[in-house]
């Protein structure tokens, strides 16, 4: 398994769907995971350490784990099936046994950023879904992105993208470019 870090969240130029970029520790391979806009918003809030006045779903899930005295061990992005990523939440019980729960990668990532838990990916998934990274071009893109959004709140960034957070969410967690006219919800 490979521990992955979140490089950032970008918008697909054609579909305007958010893409979470996960990168290996060597910085050579990057895995794009298309997520829905509500999940992207939740991940951005978690990355920035922002807390809304009322708990979001991922905050509630972490609170439930704490009340039940369960420890969030890690997340593992374990497979790709029909162009859809699958993930597991690994939770440690008081007796130190670890239980794996099936979940969407976007939910797992949102929980991981809030709890400062590691994100792991099976090597085969990294090999199959990764794209090589051009470090020089990536550094220039990252610098330009940071300048462009330095004074923009996550909510404003989402608003500018035309996202209506009050509309029903579309779930993708996909490695392929989603087709907005088709439902890409994979049983979640």
- Structure confidence by residue, pLDDT tens digits, 51-73: 888 988 999 999 999 999 999 89
Domain boundaries, the chain: 2-160
pLDDT of residue 114: 93
How far, in Å, CA of 36 to CA of 15, rounded?
11
Say whether 172 sits in a helix, a strand or coil. Answer: coil
Question: What does DSSP assign to residue 13?
Answer: T
How far, in Å, CA of 106 to CA of 36, rounded?
8
How far, in Å, CA of 157 to CA of 149, rounded?
8
How far, in Å, CA of 11 to CA of 35, rounded?
10
Token reading at 22: 């996960």
Query: What's the CATH code, domain 2-160?
Result: 3.10.690.10
- Structure confidence by residue, pLDDT tens digits, 1-39: 999 999 999 999 899 999 999 999 998 999 999 999 999
pTM value > 0.85: no
- Structure confidence by residue, pLDDT tens digits, 131-166: 988 765 556 666 666 666 667 776 776 666 665 555
How far, in Å, CA of 114 to CA of 104, rounded?
16
How far, in Å, CA of 142 to CA of 134, rounded?
12
Question: What does DSSP assign to residue 168?
Answer: P
- Judge whether 31 and 126 are in contact, CB under 8 Å: yes
23-26 contacts, C-beta under 8 A, 24 or more apart: 23/133, 24/126, 24/130
């Amino acid at each position: 398994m490979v521990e992955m870090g979140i490089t950032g969240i970008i918008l697909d130029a054609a579909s305007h769907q958010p893409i979470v970029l996960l990168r290996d520790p060597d910085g050579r391979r990057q895995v794009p995971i298309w997520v829905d806009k509500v999940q992207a918003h939740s991940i951005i809030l978690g990355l920035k350490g922002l807390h809304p006045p009322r708990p979001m779903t991922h905050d509630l899930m972490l609170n439930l784990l704490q009340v039940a005295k369960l420890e969030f061990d890690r997340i593992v992005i374990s497979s790709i099936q029909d162009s859809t990523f699958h993930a597991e939440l690994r939770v440690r019980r008081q007796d130190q046994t670890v239980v794996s729960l099936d979940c969407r990668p976007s939910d797992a990532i949102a929980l991981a950023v809030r709890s400062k838990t590691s994100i792991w990916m099976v090597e085969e998934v990294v090999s199959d879904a990764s794209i090589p990274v051009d470090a020089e071009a990536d550094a220039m893109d990252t610098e330009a992105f940071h300048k462009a959004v330095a004074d923009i709140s996550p909510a404003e960034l989402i608003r500018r993208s035309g996202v209506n957070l009050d509309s029903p969410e579309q779930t993708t967690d996909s490695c392929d470019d989603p087709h907005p006219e088709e439902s890409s919800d994979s049983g979640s």
